[in-house]
Amino acid sequence: MMLKTLITESVFLIVFCLLSHTEGETEIFCSSEPIISPCSSTVVLPCRLDPQQDATHTTVKWTQQDHVVHICKDGEDVAGEQTERFEGRTSLFSEGLRKGNLSLELSSLKLSDSGRYKCSFQDGSEEKSCHVALIVGRSEVIRSHDPIPAESGQDVILPCHLEPPFDVSTLTVEWRHNNTVVHKYRSSGDYPDVQHQKFKGRTSLFHDEMIHGNISLKLENITKDDAGIYTCFVPKLNCQVKRGNISLIVVSNDEETNKKAAGHQPRSSPEQPDKTQNSNGLYFGLGVAAVLLVVFAAVCLYKRNRLRRYRHEALPQKHGIIYKQSSMTNGHETDMMTSEE
């Protein structure tokens, strides 16, 4: 009985020790998949402790090769050791540190930010780390290449977006017509004070869609003066195309009606034939008639000459008709009458 109790207590003690050791051991995990984000955007590089552990009194360090990206000691950022090109662009989640969230937020991405990042966690003499890859892609302002047609009095949308798409709600977006400001957006809000007077109250952006890179402009109640080239501009869009031009064509309702009517009008009708075509036909007919007349006259002349030769040669022999022949004798003309026997 005592042996059985001893064995049971030993097994319980071993299991308790194993569980205590497992629960006390903290592991660090990063994303196994590369993080892909466009240039100028803000990205979060995930890193966490498992099981959760308060990391506010430890040292959290992010590096990229030999560059110090961010250091946090005892819940305070250490700016002096940070590499210059990362200054003002990095942060940790202070509330998240209490739950073991060591993720790094990196803003205003540049193409040079691409690479392999190391997240390190140091508690006393123990240090653990993991790696995550970041790929920064190039994004461009994509606008319509074809002119946008519209009628006076209508509302029109000038399409423009960023490709690949990313959140531009924290950036500056500006639309211009020639040298005048049509619409300006900055820091999550519109700035109507800098807008040209003739566009006030007639323009808007699609705020809910800006997180997906949509920066299209809606222009209401357009007039003939609104026609021309519009420029969509993102000033702080680094390492890529920052602007795009769109042509707006405005026609009045009367012009549109006339164009449609002209498109259905026939060129000519049977009652009103084309004068040029009639003249050409008349000249052609006269020419053909002249040629036929010349040919007919030539044929008649040819037949007449041939008939004369035939009579001159054949009539004396076949019909015995007396003909007159003149001869010269001693300088006098003598008429000789000859007949066929």
- 12 in a domain, yes or no? no
- 313 in a domain, yes or no? no
Question: Strand, coil or helix: what is 108?
Answer: coil
Summarised one tens digit per residue, pLDDT across range 44-101 is 999 999 999 999 999 999 999 999 999 999 989 998 889 999 999 999 998 999 999 9
Residue 247 host element (H or E): strand 243-251
- 84 in a domain, yes or no? yes
Select from 259, 287, 320 the last residue of a domain.
259
- 125 in a domain, yes or no? yes
Q: What is the dihedral of CA 156, 157, 158, 162, to 10 degrees?
A: 180
> Are 159 and 49 in the same domain?
no
Burial of 185 (0-12, 13-18, 19+ CB in 10 A): buried
> Are 44 and 81 in the same domain?
yes
* Phi, psi (rounded to 5 degrees) for 305: -60, -40
Q: What is the pLDDT of residue 279?
A: 57
Host domain of residue 95: 27-137
> Are 110 and 169 in the same domain?
no
Residue 95 host element (H or E): helix 94-97
Give the number of domains in the chain.
2
> Are 147 and 231 in the same domain?
yes
Residues 256 and 69: their CA atoms lie apart, in Å, by 61
> Are 177 and 148 in the same domain?
yes
- 267 in a domain, yes or no? no
Residue 270 has pLDDT above 50, yes or no: no
> Are 165 and 59 in the same domain?
no
- 264 in a domain, yes or no? no
Q: What is the pTM of this model?
A: 0.50
Residues 56 and 214: their CA atoms lie apart, in Å, by 39
Summarised one tens digit per residue, pLDDT across range 3-48 is 444 445 544 444 444 444 444 578 999 999 999 888 888 899 999 9
Residues 206 and 158: their CA atoms lie apart, in Å, by 12
CB atoms within 10 A of CB 166: 20
Residues 243 and 176: their CA atoms lie apart, in Å, by 11
As a whole number of Å, the end-to-end CA separation of the chain is: 186
CATH code where residue 228 lies: 2.60.40.10
Q: Is the CA virtual torsion 5, 9, 11, 12 positive or negative? A: positive
Residues 204 and 234: their CA atoms lie apart, in Å, by 16
> Are 111 and 47 in the same domain?
yes
